[in-house]
Amino acid sequence: MEKMKQSAWWLFTLFGIPVTFPWLLYYLYNVMMFKRRKALLSGKVVMITGASSGLGEALAHIYYSCGCRLILISRRRDELQRVKDTLMNIHYTVPTHPPVILPLDLTEINSLNSEVEKVLKIHGRVDILINNAGISYRGEVENTNVDVYIKVMLINYFAQVAMTKAVLPSMMEQRSGHIICISSVQGKMAIPYRSAYAASKHALQAWSDSLRAEISDKNIKVTVISPGYIQTSLSLNALTECGQKYGVMDEATQQGYPAENVAEEVLKSMLNGSKDVTISTCSPKIAILIRTLFPSFYFWIMEVRAKKSRDSASKKE
């Protein structure tokens, strides 16, 4: 027994210390740099779409607690006012910057430029744009109205493009800025009965990748965040094949990450200058890897998944 202890200590001395000590220094350095970068956010102007609930509301809390000047965008004025009041009651910041609420329907694409001009007159700039607003979908391709595809694409893709293009000229003029697009793991791999949603997130991912390359010399960063399931009302508000609300809280959504945790990861990703981040459990990450390296195997898995979903739906009927 004594010899085993001596051997274990010898192995730790030989291998453990040389690995542990540099890792500890690296960890402490990252913690120190994170705090320093976080402190630099004070006074930054942050525009968040879809800020009236869910992840958008959680992001508002995270950035407001850093001393940021927020512009909160959503269609629902009452909910935006609730979020604003909550932020000011919970977080004490010096100086205090009351959030600006902007009730806006992002699908009114032609009006976005004039609405952004209003914001620029208030703060003079937008330092960080978080394209978070979105809608989900549940249904079969065969039975889905084309209007549903258009609506999902309009909200999840075209509205994000239009909002970014409205803000981008001011960022290019000031030669600084950060654009964060909230995508989904389904923007990297499609699953059955999510065709409209996956397609819109695929499009957002591709557009963001192109944008990042084109403005890389303008000191403007682009980060795409691809979360897995989050505990929000996304599935409740999802559109069905005929455009009605799905109205069901999926089990996977209910068991997903808390929105606050994802918001923290978004902040970390931005401060670290990450370009593309997947926030999920191991299963989606493995699925994305399989889709990339072994596509035929991935397609077979999805076929099996689709069949199970059909069989389950048949039993319920």
- Edge to edge, the sheet with strand 220-227 lists 100-103, 69-74, 45-49, 128-131, 177-182, 220-227, 276-279
Q: How far apart are the C-alpha atoms of 138 and 195, rounded to whole Å?
A: 8
Q: How far apart are the C-alpha atoms of 241 and 127, rounded to whole Å?
A: 38
Q: Please say if 197 is a catalytic residue.
A: yes
Q: How far apart are the C-alpha atoms of 280 and 230, rounded to whole Å?
A: 9
Tokens standing for residue 216: 């890389």
Q: Which residues pair with 103 in a beta bridge?
A: 74
Q: 243, 147 in Cβ contact below 8 A?
A: yes
Active-site residue, selected from the candidate residues 64, 197, 246, 257 = 197
Active site residues: 197
